[in-house]
Copies of this chain bind each other. A is one copy, B any other.
Amino acid sequence: MRTGIATVCLSGTLKEKMQACAIAGFDGIEIFEQDLVTSSLSPEDVRKMAADLGLTLDLYQPFRDFDSVPDDLLAANLRRAEAKFRLMSRLGMDTILVCSNVGTATIDDDSLRAEQLSRLADLAGDHGVKVAYEALAWGKYVNDYEHAHRLVGTVGHPNLGTCLDSFHILSRDWDTAPIEAFDADKIFFVQVADAPKLSMDVLSWSRHYRVFPGEGQFELAKFMGHVVRAGYAGPVSLEVFNDVFRQSDVERTAVDAMRSLIWLEEQSAKWLDANAPAGAAANGAVVSGPAAPARRRYPMELATLPQVAEPAGFNFAEVKAADTAGLEKLLGQLGFEFNGRHRTKDVQLWTMGHARVIINEQDPDAPYAAGGASAAASGSVGSAPAIAALGFDVDSPVIAAARARQLKAPAVPRKSQANEEVFQGFAAPDSTEIFLCQGNPDGTAAWIGEFGEIGEFAEHSDLREHPGSGKGLAVPAPGARNAVIDHVNLAQPWQHFDEAVLFYTSALALEPQPFAEVPSPSGLVRSQVMLTADRAVRLVLNLAPVIQQDGADAGTAHRKTYQEHIAFAVDDLVATARAARDRGLDFLQIPANYYEDLDARFDLDPAFLATLRELNLLYDRDADGEFLHFYTATVGSVFFEMVERRGGYDGYGAPNAPVRHAVQYDHLHRLKRIT
């Protein structure tokens, strides 16, 4: 598949955009007219730079408001077009996008339109230019791609063809199947954009909210499947108007964009495999038997990626800190066992059932550098405790890593010595490190054998003072033996939220769920759950509001105002909470008002309500089941949650999230007022 991108997708100058596209690996670009008009580069400069960068110049766009006009305006429009055709010749470009008229169309007559497009095609032919005509979703008379294509057919001119744009087609819910019947030679260009499904006027939706494929809700693999079956083999080019992308780092956005096309290419191939015509292959040979039909060959070649199944679960979560005492204390009080220190690295292992937490002991005098360049680039949050990494159990770490690499995930090297498990690691868009691990079917992990030497640790640590800590000292509550990591909540910087959704979708095979908005005292938190079909992995991406103040460090603000957490599921939350209370755990204190409201809503058994209140437990219930949970106090930017799922409850206690936010906010601000 030939990949392309319109310069309007990116921030910066034309030069910066072109360089970023080349670095990200695009084959070609669309020149958005405004980017050229405002550039100090001459058309010849642009042509040379593109050649030097190895980029083809695939489409000049947009030419607006041409058709359906009276004669005098047509003459002016042809004159305007000719100036652009001459410019294209200097650029060495041969295809121009002409949109259906929005602003100046006054005559609704297909035969007049065909005649006008025919004159444009004649003129284009004189200049060696091909006109790709596109129906805008809000075109005054032409807003349906089939209508536009009928006009192309009526004109029947070699220099006039169709441009198909997924946004203009899917935003109107047009059926995409008819594309297959199009003559491939008449499809001059294909543009792709995804979008969240929003109920708003289609122009605003288009101009502000488009996203890259895989970041929205359109059925793009199906759209592309029909395009491929039609026999189209030209560029597949991104045209994404997005307020955030337009103000984000250009090189990073270009990589995000390229990842979306690599993913779309794979998804399109899969759609074609899954929707191969039954009974007959392309050449008419009858396919029989239970085997899947051999892949039909199309003019467009679709590359595939190494295939991975969704992860089987969390392998571990890693928290880093210069001063680890607060983390050790919390984990010990929750009932985690200390499993010793790593034989070669400055990390500790804590476990409860199959939930494994690594504490990464950073050198308090050195800046955080575990993630190397990625941490430095995205802004370290200093040496206070923070979530640093997540490990996922996958069938084959090597295959999964190869896939992630092809999806342009930035690698994170980790030193390992002989006989130690080698972790394949990548930096997620928020700089959390993601490790791909070989999990055991029984939920254990081989690498825990690399940990030991408790004695040495206990000597220099104040761990002995923590009841329940230290190997063999902890007596996990009966309900905690099967503990697992239930979910992890991460804060995302606003400019990388969509990128993160695509990252976890494409590299880790997690499925994005509809997002929720949770009120907090500092504003609404946008919360996006990503999960596996069996719910073994639940990752929650949170876009937190930032109360901006003078001197605020924008790069790390998302972690300062939104605390991240790791939630562990146990069989008996009440027993776990009681044991933790007996060990002196600092619970997040839930206001009395909450329990009164809970009782008003759910009419709870008084004894049960008293238990909830006594132990600072939160509660939710829906048609599928019940949810009990509690939170610890925060150390640094991280805290822990313990949960119990009863019945088929599949949520996260969302109605209780505002309570958590309010109490945490109050703590944070009380601390600020004191210090």
Using CB atoms and an 8 Å cutoff, list the residues of chain A in contact with chain B. 11-13, 16, 33-34, 36-43, 76, 79-80, 83-84, 87, 198-201, 204, 207-208, 243, 246-249, 379, 495, 517, 519, 521-524, 545-557, 589, 591-594, 596-597, 599-601, 603, 658-659, 661-663, 665-666, 669
When A247-B546, A594-B38, A600-B83 are in contact, do A522 and B11 touch as well, CB less than 8 Å?
Answer: yes
When A201-B199, A545-B246, A662-B13 are in contact, do A597 and B522 touch as well, CB less than 8 Å?
Answer: no
Chain B residues near A551: list those with CB within 8 A.
553-555
Q: A207-B517, A243-B523 are in contact. List 17 more A-B contacts (CB 8 A).
A: A11-B521, A13-B665, A16-B521, A37-B593, A39-B662, A40-B663, A40-B666, A41-B593, A79-B600, A83-B600, A198-B204, A200-B200, A243-B524, A246-B523, A247-B547, A546-B554, A548-B555
Name A517's closest neighbour in chain B (CB-CB). B207
- Contact yes or no, B247 A522, CB < 8 A: yes
- Contact yes or no, A556 B547, CB < 8 A: no
When A76-B603, A79-B603, A603-B79 are in contact, do A249 and B547 touch as well, CB less than 8 Å?
Answer: yes
Q: How far is the CA of A39 from the CA of B545 in the complex (A)?
A: 20
- Contact yes or no, A600 B84, CB < 8 A: yes
Chain B residues near A545: list those with CB within 8 A.
243, 246-247
Give the residue among A248, A589, A663, A666 with the most B Cβ atoms within 10 A: A666
Name A33's closest neighbour in chain B (CB-CB). B597
Chain B residues near A16: list those with CB within 8 A.
521
Chain B residues near A246: list those with CB within 8 A.
519, 522-524, 545
25 CB < 8 A contacts A-B: A12-B521, A37-B658, A37-B659, A38-B593, A38-B658, A40-B591, A79-B603, A200-B200, A200-B201, A200-B204, A208-B524, A243-B523, A243-B524, A243-B545, A246-B522, A246-B524, A247-B523, A247-B545, A247-B546, A248-B547, A249-B547, A546-B554, A549-B555, A550-B556, A552-B554
Query: Whole-angstrom distance from the CB of A31 to the nearest CB of chain B?
Result: 11
Q: How far is the CA of A247 from the CA of B521 in the complex (A)?
A: 8
- Contact yes or no, A379 B12, CB < 8 A: no
Q: How far is the CA of A207 from the CA of B549 in the complex (A)?
A: 25
Chain B residues near A546: list those with CB within 8 A.
247, 554
Chain B residues near A87: list those with CB within 8 A.
596, 600
Chain B residues near A659: list those with CB within 8 A.
37-38
Q: How many copies of this chain does the complex contain?
A: 2
Contact of A37 among B243, B553, B591 (CB under 8 A): B591
Query: Whole-angstrom distance from the CB of A555 to the nearest CB of chain B?
Result: 3
Q: How far is the CA of A302 from the CA of B603 in the complex (A)?
A: 46
Give the residue among A76, A201, A524, A669 with the most B Cβ atoms within 10 A: A524
Chain B residues near A555: list those with CB within 8 A.
548-552
Give the residue among A198, A594, A662 with the most B Cβ atoms within 10 A: A662
- Contact yes or no, A379 B40, CB < 8 A: no
Query: Whole-angstrom distance from the CB of A35 to the nearest CB of chain B?
Result: 8
- Contact yes or no, A42 B592, CB < 8 A: yes
Query: Whole-angstrom distance from the CB of A378 to the nearest CB of chain B?
Result: 8
Name A244's closest neighbour in chain B (CB-CB). B523
Name A208's closest neighbour in chain B (CB-CB). B524
Q: How far is the CA of A492 from the CA of B7 in the complex (A)?
A: 28
Chain B residues near A523: list those with CB within 8 A.
11, 243, 246-247
Chain B residues near A207: list those with CB within 8 A.
517
Q: How far is the CA of A208 from the CA of B517 in the complex (A)?
A: 11
Query: Whole-angstrom distance from the CB of A405 to the nearest CB of chain B?
Result: 27
- CB-based closest 7 A-B pairs: A247-B523, A550-B555, A38-B662, A83-B600, A199-B201, A200-B200, A548-B554
Q: How far is the CA of A517 from the CA of B204 in the complex (A)?
A: 11
Chain B residues near A84: list those with CB within 8 A.
600
Query: Whole-angstrom distance from the CB of A64 to the nearest CB of chain B?
Result: 11
When A553-B550, A554-B549, A659-B38 are in contact, do A600 and B247 touch as well, CB less than 8 Å?
Answer: no
Chain B residues near A554: list those with CB within 8 A.
546, 548-552, 554, 557
- Contact yes or no, A39 B80, CB < 8 A: no
Chain B residues near A247: list those with CB within 8 A.
522-524, 545-547
Chain B residues near A208: list those with CB within 8 A.
524
Q: How far is the CA of A661 from the CA of B37 in the complex (A)?
A: 12
- Contact yes or no, B43 A593, CB < 8 A: yes
- Contact yes or no, B597 A37, CB < 8 A: yes
Query: Whole-angstrom distance from the CB of A394 to the nearest CB of chain B?
Result: 32
Q: How far is the CA of A16 from the CA of B248 in the complex (A)?
A: 34
Chain B residues near A38: list those with CB within 8 A.
591, 593-594, 658-659, 661-663
Chain B residues near A548: list those with CB within 8 A.
495, 554-555
- Contact yes or no, A658 B34, CB < 8 A: yes
- Contact yes or no, B13 A666, CB < 8 A: yes
Query: Whole-angstrom distance from the CB of A23 to the nearest CB of chain B?
Result: 17
Chain B residues near A200: list those with CB within 8 A.
198-201, 204
- Contact yes or no, B519 A601, CB < 8 A: no
Chain B residues near A521: list those with CB within 8 A.
11-13, 16
- Contact yes or no, B42 A593, CB < 8 A: yes
- Contact yes or no, B666 A601, CB < 8 A: no
Chain B residues near A553: list those with CB within 8 A.
550-552
Chain B residues near A83: list those with CB within 8 A.
596, 599-600
Contact of A591 among B39, B550, B601 (CB under 8 A): B39
Chain B residues near A76: list those with CB within 8 A.
603
Q: How far is the CA of A12 from the CA of B517 in the complex (A)?
A: 17
Chain B residues near A594: list those with CB within 8 A.
37-38
Query: Whole-angstrom distance from the CB of A82 to the nearest CB of chain B?
Result: 9
Name A551's closest neighbour in chain B (CB-CB). B553
Q: How far is the CA of A593 from the CA of B79 in the complex (A)?
A: 17
When A37-B659, A550-B553, A554-B554 are in contact, do A80 and B11 touch as well, CB less than 8 Å?
Answer: no
Q: How far is the CA of A84 from the CA of B16 in the complex (A)?
A: 60
Q: How far is the CA of A589 from the CA of B40 in the complex (A)?
A: 9
